[in-house]
Amino acid sequence: MLKRLFMGILLLIFFVSSTNFAKEKGKLVIIGGVQVTSIMKKFVDLAGGSQAKIIIIPNAGSDPVENSEIQKQEFTELGAISDYLIFTRETADDEANLKKMEWANAVFFLGGDQSDLARDMLGTKLLEKVFNIYYNGGVVGGTSAGAAIMSEVMITGNELKNKDSSRIFITIDKGNVETKKGFGFLKTVIIDQHFLKRKRHNRTIATLIEHPDHIGVAIDESTAILVNPDDTFEVLGDSQVLVYDPTCSQNIREDKSGNLGITNMKLHVLIAGDKFDLKSKKVIE
């Protein structure tokens, strides 16, 4: 009886350990747009190099087949095997798509309009398959729109108050920056992209004043963050990443015109090789 009980306990420990191991998070490679070869090579290496099996998802872009073929060629030149999915919201969960996802150990989201990605994939079995890859140690990456979609609170790029497209995001005021639900690989982080090149400072600050429990990670072009399973990240590439931290700020306020104010919001400007801990909200020295 004791022997049987002992064996049962061992089996239970083995099952729990196996389950936990299977659910080890993978890595995220989040690119601010205009990806460079060194970053893409890092993505391929993390996915297994010549053993990498990457699914490309192009739904954010206006020419998904052409964009996918270009990306597939780059992955081939870097020694990886890749394929891509062409689907709509209605066909996302087709058996052929789900089967391809079971083959893959990495996923890469192309650029375009992040709202289109959210429209086509939120709530689908296909997105569940992407998370399965990630929670079994796989790699998930994206560029531009494919970066913005990583946040749960996602900046869409649209303004709700200012309708003058020749003068975009010229204010830091309440209710102007449109946000929607993203995929949520990062729950407490809001990603912005093309950041320095397109001068997106105002929209990031406004978004964070309205979501002060989140950290803003603003990634420039030709630059990426590599997010590890322990919620630390490293900056890769040619430019900078700005981290805005309003979580310990005070006195969030607005004036009669809707202009927003905040006191003691932190800012870190990171360069290639710098590391940051999203849990402690500190630069890793």
Residue type, 76: T
Alpha carbons 41 and 33: distance in angstroms, whole number? 15
Burial class (CB in 10 A: 0-12, 13-18, 19+), 253: exposed
Residue at 20 is within a domain: no
What does pLDDT average to over the chain? 93
- Look up the CATH number of the domain holding residue 85: 3.40.50.880
Greater model confidence, 275 or 17: 275
190: β partners: 216
User: Does position 4 have pLDDT exceeding 70, yes or no?
Assistant: no
Residue at 30 is within a domain: yes
The pLDDT score that the predictor gives to residue 19 is 42
Close Cβ partners of 164 (under 8 Å, ≥ 6 residues apart): none
Q: How many CB atoms lie within 10 A of CB 264?
A: 10
The pLDDT score that the predictor gives to residue 18 is 42
User: Does position 132 have pLDDT exceeding 90, yes or no?
Assistant: yes
User: Does position 15 have pLDDT exceeding 70, yes or no?
Assistant: no
> Among 237, 273, 49, which Cα is nearest to 139's?
49
User: Does position 229 have pLDDT exceeding 80, yes or no?
Assistant: yes
Close Cβ partners of 274 (under 8 Å, ≥ 6 residues apart): 234, 235, 241, 283, 284
Q: Are 74 and 20 in contact (CB under 8 A)?
A: no
What's the rounded mean pLDDT across residues 12-21?
45
pTM value?
0.91
Lowest-confidence region among 19-23, 138-142, 198-202: 19-23
User: Does position 81 have pLDDT exceeding 50, yes or no?
Assistant: yes
Residue at 13 is within a domain: no
Residue at 150 is within a domain: yes
Query: For the chain, how many residues are written?
Result: 285
- Exposure pattern of 49-83 as b/e (b: 16+ CB <10 Å)? eeebbbbbbbbbbeebeebbeebbebbeebebbbe
What's the token pair of residue 195?
A: 């950041």
Q: Are 188 and 220 in contact (CB under 8 A)?
A: no
Residue at 205 is within a domain: yes
Burial class (CB in 10 A: 0-12, 13-18, 19+), 268: middle
What's the rounded mean pLDDT across residues 112-121?
98
Identify the H or E element spanning 43: helix 37-46
Range of the domain at 72: 25-284
Number of domains in the chain: 1
Residue at 11 is within a domain: no
Residue at 41 is within a domain: yes
The pLDDT score that the predictor gives to residue 17 is 44
Burial class (CB in 10 A: 0-12, 13-18, 19+), 188: middle
Residue at 3 is within a domain: no
Helix (H, G, I), strand (E, B) or coil at 139: strand
Q: Rounded to the nearest 5°, which phi and psi values hold at 33?
A: 110, 155
Angle between helices 64-77 and 37-46 (to 10 degrees): 80
